[in-house]
Copies of this chain bind each other. A is one copy, B any other.
Amino acid sequence: MTLEIGMLGYRFMGKAHANALARLPMFFPDAPDVERGVLIGRDEDALRDAADRLGFSSIATSWEEAIDEVDVFYNLGPNHVHAEPSIAALDAGTPVFCEKPLAPTLEEADVMAETAREADVPAGCAFNYRFVPAIRYAKRLLEAGELGEIRHVRGRYLQDWLVDPEAPWSWRNDEELAGSGALGDLGSHTVDLLRFLVGADDIAGEISRISGHLRTFVEERPVEGDGAGTDETRPVTVDDAYSAQLEFENGAMGTLEASRFATGHKNDHTIEIHGSKGSLRFSLERLNELEVLREDNRGYKTILVTDEDDPYVDHWWPPGHVIGWEHTFVHENYEFLTAVAENGEFEPNFEDGLAAQQVLEAIEESDDAGEWVSLD
């Protein structure tokens, strides 16, 4: 059996997932067979080019029809088109893999999760960083209790592509289209990773209350393109950066932060955890490494997570032959498609997407009210 994929979106995420699909047969031979079937978008010319490049056999400008014809629906469009097509696909009994954040608003995320709950097929939310080998390795340590009682959790996602006030306006700067800014785009990743790593009841549990802080540093940005030469600008209606303080169910403290104004940082997503018996640190820009402190408390060990029995590594190369960012998509697609083929469970799913959304919403609410918000 071959699974035919319909994919909405063909830019950054489209390329990342198409590449992942293309690499499965050589590296994950037990993955289900897939066919890159129909690529869905609005601009027919661009779509045709992309289909050609990304290896899709056909194109469609209407998702409504396409989702009936495919075995799996990938929703990789901008945030504001996550809800409707995903819900329609699930209602039609088609498994859905949706990019993060699940939706621009909590309301939409709620409906999506509700729909997924009632559908009898996998509904995945594509938080790809759960599939970094070093993160899986960290999770093993945490699940085995090797770090002891968790006291501090820290997550930070720093970029700098908006530090120039002349950087052009895009849909990512618009509340209607994106929901939020650094908070949703970057913060959703951080929240999901922390939930994945310490969210289990016997580790730190879920986030129980939160205090948030959002900020827009540059209030309007120039419009690029046709209007070249004009002075047209559009308002930035989302945050450029956010921070948050957390309390977890077990009493652990947390701090979160993300920014598009952190000069010099390109894609710097870091996680740090301190427990009563050990600590760990991870940085996405050195994603093959995990720093772990244990045992005699004499310093962090820099582990190159490329040994044969490290998560997913046996599919790739010998020790020390590092992998890249894109490999997380291969792992993620492998797990998701396997779940589809076997009608099994896949996580992160829409519940996880909703849970992250609830945290983001609480951060915004807290920022508005100037006070802590409870998440119970």
Question: Which residues from chain A sit less than 8 Å from chain B, CB to CB?
Answer: 12, 15-16, 18-19, 22-23, 25-27, 29, 53-55, 147-148, 151-152, 154, 158-161, 163, 211, 213, 215, 217, 241, 243-245, 247, 251, 253, 255, 257, 259, 261-268, 274-279, 284-288, 293, 297-304, 306-307, 316-327, 369-372
Contact = CB atoms under 8 A, between A and B. Distances in A.
Nearest to A371: B371
A300 B247 contact: no
28 contacts: A16-B317, A19-B26, A23-B23, A26-B53, A26-B55, A151-B259, A151-B262, A151-B263, A152-B261, A152-B262, A154-B257, A213-B247, A255-B257, A262-B274, A263-B275, A263-B297, A265-B279, A265-B320, A266-B304, A266-B307, A266-B319, A267-B318, A267-B321, A285-B320, A300-B302, A317-B325, A321-B326, A370-B372
A81 to B, nearest CB: 21
Contacts of A297: 160, 263-264
A267 B320 contact: yes
B12 A25 contact: no
B19 A151 contact: no
A10 to B, nearest CB: 12
Contact of A245 (B154, B245, B318, B321): B245
A27 B19 CA distance: 9
A253 B324 contact: no
B263 A253 contact: no
Which residue, A217, A266, A307, has most C-beta atoms of chain B within 10 A? A266
Top 6 closest A-B pairs, CB basis?
Answer: A267-B320, A266-B320, A324-B324, A371-B371, A264-B293, A266-B319
Nearest to A209: B370
Contact of A299 (B152, B264, B321): B264
Choose among A27, A211, A264, A372 the residue with the greatest number of B CB atoms under 10 Å from its CB.
Answer: A264
Contacts of A327: 324
A47 to B, nearest CB: 16
B264 A253 contact: no
A298 B303 contact: yes
Contact of A279 (B12, B251, B262, B323): B262
Given A217-B151, A245-B213, A322 B325 contact: yes
A299 B253 CA distance: 29
Contacts of A12: 317-318
A307 B265 CA distance: 11
A52 to B, nearest CB: 8
